[in-house]
Structure 1
C-alpha cells in the first residue's frame, strides 16, 4: 500500500479551495475523501466510490469515472479539481510521483519557459 496522498487545489477566480485525500486500501483500490469550499465539488464527492487507479488513469476522458461525476455535478468545465483528483488517485495508487502542476497566465511566449 502506498502512503496517503493529499492535494490542495486552488481553483482560481472563484477562490474556492479543495483538499483531496487519496488512500490505497487493502484491495488495491483508492478511496478518495474531499473537503471543499465549493458545493458542487462536495456534491460530486458524495458519489465517489473506491476506484482502480490503473483503470482511472488509463481511461479516455469521457470514460473516466471522475470526469463522468464532474460532468454531472460541476457547471464549469474549466474547473481544475477533477484533474487534481485524478493526480491524487495516480500517486496514491503508486502510479505517479508527487510533483506540483500549475496553470499560469503569461503575457508573452518567452514567459512560458519552453525549450
Structure 2
C-alpha cells in the first residue's frame, strides 16, 4: 500500500491518501484527511478502482484531473499531481521519491 501526505501551501491544508492495487492495472484510492474541495473529489475517486494506465495517457484523459477541474478552486493545487504519483507508485510505474516545490519571491 502506498501513502501520500500533501501539505498544500498557502491554503494551509494537508491531504492524506492511500492506494492499494487491485491488479497490475487498477488501484483503489482512499482519501483520508482533506480539505472541503478534495472532499468533493473523494466520492468520485473512491467509487471504483482507478485505471492507472488510462490516468497516464495525459491530463485531458485523467479522471483525477477531470474531477479536480470541477471541484478545486485553484489550478495550482498540488493534490491532483500527488494522487497521480500515488497511483504510479502503487502500480510499480514509479519509485518512491518526494517531490518538492520551493517558492521564493
Task: Provide the C-alpha distance between the structure 2 equivalents of 1:27 and 1:60, rounded to a whole number of angstroms.
Answer: 19
Which structure 2 residue ranges, 5 or more long, are not aligned? none
Q: Is the partner of 1:36 in helix, strand or coil?
A: coil
Task: Provide the C-alpha distance between the structure 2 equivalents of 1:65 and 1:35, rounded to a whole number of angstroms.
Answer: 19
CA RMSD of aligned residues (A): 1.4
Which structure 1 residue ranges, 5 or more long, are not aligned? 108-115
Map 1:1-115 onto structure 2 (within 5 A): 4-26=1-23, 28-48=25-45, 49-57=48-56, 59-106=57-104
Q: CA deviation at 1:28?
A: 3.6
Task: Provide the C-alpha distance between the structure 1 equivalents of 2:93 and 2:23, rounded to a whole number of angstroms.
Answer: 16
Q: CA deviation at 1:75?
A: 1.0
Task: Provide the C-alpha distance between the structure 2 equivalents of 1:89 and 1:101, rounded to a whole number of angstroms.
Answer: 15
TM-score by length of 1: 0.83
TM-score by length of 2: 0.91
1:46-96 deviation per Cα after TM superposition (whole angstroms, max 9, x unaligned): 101311212212x22121110001111111111000000000000001111
Q: CA deviation at 1:36?
A: 2.6
Question: Is the CA contact 2:24–2:91 (under 8 Å) kept in the aligned structure 1?
Answer: no
